[in-house]
Structure 1
Amino acid sequence: MATTADTPEPAVSALCRRIRELRSERDWTLEQLSRASGVSRSMLSQIERNQANPTLAVALRIAQAFGLTIGELMGEAATGSTLEVIRAADNRHNYRSDETCSIRTLSPLHLEKDVEFYEVRLAPRGTLDSAAHFRGTREFLTVTRGKVRVRSGNDASELETGDSVNYPADVPHSIENTGRGEAVLFLVVIYR
């Protein structure tokens, strides 16, 4: 039986369903997936509703946003090693990079969004300002080089190399480099 535009192929329907499920598992909005993949919000909405058949290039960008291969996006079991290596040169893991702040994701991009692990580098006087995350979210920070001031709500603390702090991240919070050189931090975000 021939497939028409009104009768999508089973593989396309499965792909559309899988994208919707992955986004839901990660608690991402369509806008968040759009930013991560470079695919327009309206196109993603059409794909999830099985009203558009994504091209290979679009499917690849969506898969990469989730940290998956095309085969994994289609639901095929991953084969090979159980080790997941994140290479320093892999630009897909650069979350932010500008003159004052760079953030690199150290946790696999396809993990459930309950724990995230980052390397943060702040130039002198650089600041990472964050809006409140979901209720119950906490951040754990370790300074591996430099000096920073951490603020969470109305509380603040100065930290130096080797110091660690954990704090509520469900309120506005910030990390400011107060030293003369680059500050390097490891940041773990835990969502409840």
Structure 2
Amino acid sequence: MDNLTHYLATTLKTLRQQREWSLSRLAEATGVSKAMLGQIERNESSPTVATLWKIATGLNVPFSTFISPPESVTPPAFDPQQQAMVVTPLFPWDPELCFDHFSILLAPGALSESTPHERGVTEHVVVISGQLDMCINGEWKTLQAGEGVRFAGDAAHAYRNSSGQTAHFHSLIHYPRS
């Protein structure tokens, strides 16, 4: 896990410096506080998935930019008592096809609200096991294992597990071509 948080800290700082942005400018672009961004860059804080989405959207980079560390890093074990959500890349960012593909575990009772992604993003969600509630365009819909939904990711949306078992789902995110 230390390698993963170090990778995240280094990646964030590098992206900010490449743009010649201050922490204040980054905070404006992402909606994440300057203090939190500084803590992440100094490897003093591990952000939530929702915070990472805000940062990726504000920087206009794929989400997997922050969670696809060198191959030597193994993903953390999922402990629903300690973590609400774990996101693991199945296929990291593909610049030719413009997509990320994730495997996501959502703990029982957990809620993850996602800020809008960049304009033109389309998300595909397929439940692998368990049950997943999704809020799309202000309406909640329950998906069972084997069911899926496709929606515009450039609007606020949310994932909720109202069951007593871990929900496992895949999320395929298509980004518009630059």
Scaled by the length of structure 2, what TM-score is found? 0.56
* Structure 1 outlier segments of 4+, above 6 Å: 64-69
2:11 is the counterpart of 1:37: yes
Match of 2:121 in 1: 137
For residues 121-136 of structure 1, the aligned pairs below 5 Å read 121-136=105-120
Overall identity of the aligned pairs, in %: 17
AA in 2 matched with 1:155: E
The whole-number CA distance in structure 2 between the counterparts of 1:151 and 1:119 is 19
Matched pairs, number:
121
Cα RMSD for the two superposed structures: 3.4
**Gap runs ≥5 in structure 2:** 1-6, 21-64, 77-81
Residues 67 and 88, structure 2, Cα contact 8 Å, conserved in 1: no
Q: For 1:116 and 1:187, how far apart are their aligned partners in 2?
A: 8
> Secondary structure of 1:107's match?
strand
Query: Which letter maps to 1:183?
Result: A
Which amino acid in the other structure matches residue 128 of structure 1?
Answer: S
Task: Tell me: CA distance 1:42–1:169, structure 2 relative to 1, closer, same or farther (3 Å).
Answer: closer
**Cα gap change, 1:164 to 1:90, in 2 (>3 Å):** same
| Aligned position for 1:189 | 173
Q: Distance in 1 between matches of 2:165 and 2:125?
A: 18
Q: Deviations over 1:15-53 (max 9, x none)?
A: xxxxxxxxxxxxxxxxxx97462546665457xxxxxxx
- 1:47-58 equivalences under 5 Å are none
Structure having the higher Rg: 1
- Work out which structure has the larger RCO, using CA pairs closer than 8 Å and 6 or more positions apart in sequence: 2
Q: Which amino acid aligns with 2:148?
A: S
Give TM-score, length-normalised by structure 1: 0.52
Task: Tell me, yes or no, if the aligned pair for 2:67 and 2:89 is still in contact at 8 Å.
Answer: no
* Matched-pair contact (CA < 8 Å) for 1:149–1:177: yes
| Structure 1 unmatched ranges of 5 or more | 1-32, 47-63, 70-85, 93-97
